[in-house]
Amino acid sequence: MNAADDIVLSPDPRLREKCRPIEAIDDEIRELAARMLDDMYAAEGVGLAAPQVGVLKRIVVIDVDYPSADPNPYVLINPEIVEASEETVPFDEGCLSFPGISVSIERPRHVVVQAENLEGDLMQYEAADNLLAVCLQHEIDHLNGITMVDHLSPVERIRVLGEYERALAAGAKPGETDFAS
């Protein structure tokens, strides 16, 4: 299946669900991670969360270096934000589930995230003022049924969703923004 067909688009209700923790890192999870990475790279995204391929489990993949460098994928299983700064910064975000739009979203500038990797090791990721800081928060939101437009004011959300409908009608495909996760 090609990435564009595999990726779930808003307003699919699966993007609104809280995902379940992963109990065991088995072949099914390893295959899911591989599928998500394939889809992410094919769509030229920098991150993808399992509900975006229709699987309601707590796993995300991120590669903020690609395509400027060799692939350097992070697979985060059961990720949790353990620290977030009070200070926030805006960043232009896109999402593979919202083809054709990018939106300025305000988020904490510094975060610390804990997650298991595919080997089951507990890893810690720390990022501030960069794409990784944004991407970690954006992807973990997806596991809680939250998408980027939920961070907008009601008025701004209506405007952006109108823009999204027009982009879809014009044939926008996942990854068609400046930055998409």
Q: Which residue has the tokens 């939920």?
A: 150
Q: What is the 3-state secondary structure (H, E, C) of 129-142?
A: CCHHHHHHHHHHHH
User: Taking CB under 5 A as the rule, which mask of x and - marks residues 92-111 in contact with Ni ion?
Assistant: ---x----------------
Q: Shortest approach of Ni ion to residue 119 CB, angstroms?
A: 26
Phi, psi of 80 (to 5 degrees): -135, 140
Q: Which residues are catalytic?
A: 139
Among residues 177 and 181, whose Cβ is nearest to Ni ion? 181
Contact characters 38-77, Ni ion, x per CB under 5 A: ----------------------------------------
* Shortest CB 26 distance to Ni ion, Å: 26
Segment near Ni ion (CB under 5 A); pick from 28-36, 89-97, 124-132, 156-164: 89-97
Binding mask 145-164 for Ni ion (x = CB under 5 A): --------------------
Which of 25, 164 has the CB closer to Ni ion? 164
Query: Among the candidate windows 5-13, 65-73, 163-171, 173-181, which touches Ni ion by CB under 5 A?
Result: 173-181
Closest contact distance (angstroms) between CB of 138 and Ni ion is 5
| CA-based nearest residue to 120, from 19, 30, 20 | 30
Q: CB 75: neighbour CB atoms within 10 A?
A: 24
**How far apart are the C-alpha atoms of 117 and 99, rounded to whole Å?**
29
Q: Could you give the CA distance from residue 148 to residue 132 in angstroms, rounded to a whole number?
A: 15
Cα distance between the two ends of the chain = 19
